[in-house]
Chain A
Amino acid sequence: MDEKLKQKIAFNILLIITILIVAPVVLIFLLVLVRGLPGLSWEFLTAIPRDGMRAGGIFPAIVGTIYLTLGTAVFSIPLGILAAIYLNEYARRNALTRIIELAIINLAGVPSIVYGLFGLGLFVTFLGFGASILAGSLTLSIMTLPVIITATREALNAVPQSFREVSFSLGATRWQTVRHVVLPNAIPGILTGTILGLSRAAGETAPILFTVAAFYLPRLPQSVYDQAMVLPYHIYVLSTQVPNVSVKIQYGTVLVLIGMVFIMNILAAWLRARFRRRKVW
């Protein structure tokens, strides 16, 4: 067979496979959009649920998800970034750091329901936070940590070693080098990785199931010790626990959650593009 024809066939097969990968994303999004869009309204976004959640809005769940994501950010971003800086810039390679690295890798592989049960045991029961935004945020933070640590380490590693050497050669200490040369150049990567990690956390159901999620709350949470309604759990409730919920409310809720995660991902992509344009090496 003609070599050019072979190449054409091969490339077309690759193209079809690539399109197949995109297909589920597009289909899910279209389905949710078509079925959910009619349900969206100002009232839907800003009112509390009525009639056993068969009418009204999902405002408490939106607010709960935002609180929970912010709470997760508060705990996981500093811990994750600082741990990554330590591991990458300070720690010597020895048995201890290898064990820590192994632990981080394994942490990333733990099923999310296990995080939920762990959070229930440690934060809700043992530490006595009860089912609360605090307990939920901490549980989601532990789940997000490996993502943030890994993303931060990748960003730190992407800063050329030569920049560090130059800084040391001018008499800088390790901290001065990290502070003035490494971090400023790693921040874009750290930011995007962190936001992506948080957007994952925002959509998780299992870890919040026992640690924060409320079936129904007619008011907004008053403090970090309050339970909260959260979108992923609310979707679960609407689709399996409450009979006769209209499709447009079910899909409308899904659309809102997907929309929030989407906005975070687009923010990450935008930040990355923006910093890349400014990158000078």
Chain B
Amino acid sequence: MKISINNLNIWYENYHAIKGLTLEVAEHEILGVIGPSNSGKSSFIKALNRMNELNPRSRTTGEILLDGENLSAIDKHFLRKRVGIVFALPLPLPLSIYDNVAYGPRLHGIKERKKLTESVEKSLRAAAIWDEVKDRLDTGAFKLSGGQQQRLCIARTLAVEPEVILYDEPCSGLDPISTAKVEEAMRQLKKNYTQILVTNNVKQSARVADRTAFFLMGELVEIGATPQIFTAPRDKRTEDYITGRFG
């Protein structure tokens, strides 16, 4: 197993955001995570690269293993290199397209221009945006459209060569065509990466994920192969949610 989570609990002061989560993620799978707002989806993936620690009010118990190694034993800067994240809103840095993608590799000590350029091209290709930006790598990233910015952010995450990519509602601000392109990029990335996709869009999980997990009020209600979850959910609450009866 790539990631094993055992009895994970997360609190924000007195608010219990994740309640005793136990879950495994296989290598090279896409795990979709669905659930209404406040179900704990975002808290869950932010725990996977310890981004939740940036919030001084959060508290975590339980264990998360990455390749059998306890997350708390891994230096968090190195961990975040291994487990990358793509945020809900496209968040380019106020730099050129090139420098956005090269930002991560530079942090980790790559200085040689040739290596950086290779890494930038490879990452932009993998995020399915190379053809759209290859002639204007020096322009500011804010000049790109929202969908392009989000794929640029994926490329930026890829450039540090992570093993796992987390997506926190990556298409919430995108139009359907941009969404389709981002989803296509995810499918392409499948052969090299383990991906976890948190999404508010139930259909997106159905389109992309191998397995889907349904969270509700901080609990994992049900997890299973995506077709099973969508055609024959075992739990009544799952069925109600995916058919749009609540949430």
Interface residues of A (CB under 8 A from B): 92-93, 162-163, 165-173, 176, 180-181, 185, 279-281
A160 CB, min distance to chain B CBs, angstroms: 8
Question: Of the candidates A162, A165, A172, A279, which one forms a contact with B107 in the assembled complex, judged by CB atoms under 8 Å apart?
Answer: A172
Chain A residues whose C-beta falls within 8 Å of the C-beta of B77 in the assembled complex: 171-173
Contact with A along B70-102 (1 / 0, CB 8 A): 000000011111001101010101100000000
B24 CB, min distance to chain A CBs, angstroms: 23
Beyond A169-B157, A170-B80, list 18 extra A-B contacts (CB 8 Å): A162-B87, A162-B91, A165-B51, A165-B87, A166-B87, A166-B93, A167-B103, A169-B51, A169-B87, A170-B81, A170-B107, A171-B77, A171-B81, A171-B108, A172-B77, A176-B107, A280-B94, A280-B140
Chain A residues whose C-beta falls within 8 Å of the C-beta of B54 in the assembled complex: 165, 168
B150 at the A interface (CB under 8 A): no
Instruction: Give how many A-B residue pairs fall within 8 Å (CB-CB).
Output: 62
A26 CB, min distance to chain B CBs, angstroms: 39
Contact B94 A163 (CB under 8 A): yes
Contact B94 A170 (CB under 8 A): no
A21 CB, min distance to chain B CBs, angstroms: 36
B116 CB, min distance to chain A CBs, angstroms: 14
Chain A residues whose C-beta falls within 8 Å of the C-beta of B89 in the assembled complex: 162
How far is B142's CA from A59's CA once the two chains are assembled, in angstroms?
Answer: 51
Chain A residue nearest to B159 (CB atoms) is A170
**Of B51, B91, B108, B153, most A-chain CB atoms within 10 Å:** B91
Interface residues of B (CB under 8 A from A): 49, 51, 54, 56, 77-81, 84-85, 87, 89, 91, 93-94, 103-104, 106-108, 140, 142, 153, 156-157, 160
Chain B residues whose C-beta falls within 8 Å of the C-beta of A281 in the assembled complex: 94, 142
Question: Of the candidates A171, A180, A181, which one forms a contact with B80 in the assembled complex, judged by CB atoms under 8 Å apart?
Answer: A171
Contact A170 B87 (CB under 8 A): no
How far is B108's CA from A218's CA once the two chains are assembled, in angstroms?
Answer: 59
Contact A168 B94 (CB under 8 A): no
How far is B108's CA from A162's CA once the two chains are assembled, in angstroms?
Answer: 20
Chain B residues whose C-beta falls within 8 Å of the C-beta of A181 in the assembled complex: 93
Chain A residues whose C-beta falls within 8 Å of the C-beta of B108 in the assembled complex: 171
Chain B residues whose C-beta falls within 8 Å of the C-beta of A92 in the assembled complex: 56
- A280 and B107 in contact, given A166-B87, A168-B54, A169-B84 (Cβ under 8 angstroms): no
Chain A residues whose C-beta falls within 8 Å of the C-beta of B142 in the assembled complex: 280-281
How far is B141's CA from A281's CA once the two chains are assembled, in angstroms?
Answer: 10
Chain A residues whose C-beta falls within 8 Å of the C-beta of B160 in the assembled complex: 170-171
How far is B139's CA from A280's CA once the two chains are assembled, in angstroms?
Answer: 11
How far is B51's CA from A170's CA once the two chains are assembled, in angstroms?
Answer: 10
A41 CB, min distance to chain B CBs, angstroms: 49
How far is B93's CA from A180's CA once the two chains are assembled, in angstroms?
Answer: 10
Chain B residue nearest to A185 (CB atoms) is B94
Chain A residues whose C-beta falls within 8 Å of the C-beta of B103 in the assembled complex: 167, 170, 180
Question: Of the candidates B51, B106, B153, which one forms a contact with A168 in the assembled complex, judged by CB atoms under 8 Å apart?
Answer: B51
B92 CB, min distance to chain A CBs, angstroms: 8
Contact A163 B104 (CB under 8 A): no
How far is B157's CA from A185's CA once the two chains are assembled, in angstroms?
Answer: 22
Chain B residues whose C-beta falls within 8 Å of the C-beta of A163 in the assembled complex: 91, 93-94
How far is B80's CA from A280's CA once the two chains are assembled, in angstroms?
Answer: 27
28 A-B pairs within 8 Å (CB atoms) are namely: A163-B94, A165-B87, A165-B91, A166-B87, A166-B93, A167-B93, A167-B103, A168-B51, A168-B54, A169-B80, A169-B84, A169-B85, A170-B80, A170-B84, A170-B160, A171-B77, A171-B79, A171-B104, A171-B107, A171-B160, A172-B77, A173-B77, A176-B107, A180-B107, A185-B94, A280-B94, A280-B140, A280-B142
How far is B13's CA from A259's CA once the two chains are assembled, in angstroms?
Answer: 55
A78 CB, min distance to chain B CBs, angstroms: 25
How far is B91's CA from A279's CA once the two chains are assembled, in angstroms?
Answer: 15
Chain A residues whose C-beta falls within 8 Å of the C-beta of B84 in the assembled complex: 169-170
How far is B85's CA from A162's CA once the two chains are assembled, in angstroms?
Answer: 13
How far is B49's CA from A265's CA once the two chains are assembled, in angstroms?
Answer: 46
A233 CB, min distance to chain B CBs, angstroms: 45
Question: Of the candidates A93, A170, A173, A279, which one forms a contact with B156 in the assembled complex, judged by CB atoms under 8 Å apart?
Answer: A170
Contact B56 A170 (CB under 8 A): no
Chain A residues whose C-beta falls within 8 Å of the C-beta of B78 in the assembled complex: 171
How far is B81's CA from A167's CA once the two chains are assembled, in angstroms?
Answer: 11
Chain B residues whose C-beta falls within 8 Å of the C-beta of A185 in the assembled complex: 94
A172 CB, min distance to chain B CBs, angstroms: 5
Contact B51 A166 (CB under 8 A): no
Chain A residues whose C-beta falls within 8 Å of the C-beta of B80 in the assembled complex: 168-171
- A170 and B91 in contact, given A176-B107, A280-B142, A281-B142 (Cβ under 8 angstroms): no
A281 CB, min distance to chain B CBs, angstroms: 5
Chain A residue nearest to B75 (CB atoms) is A171
Chain B residue nearest to A93 (CB atoms) is B56
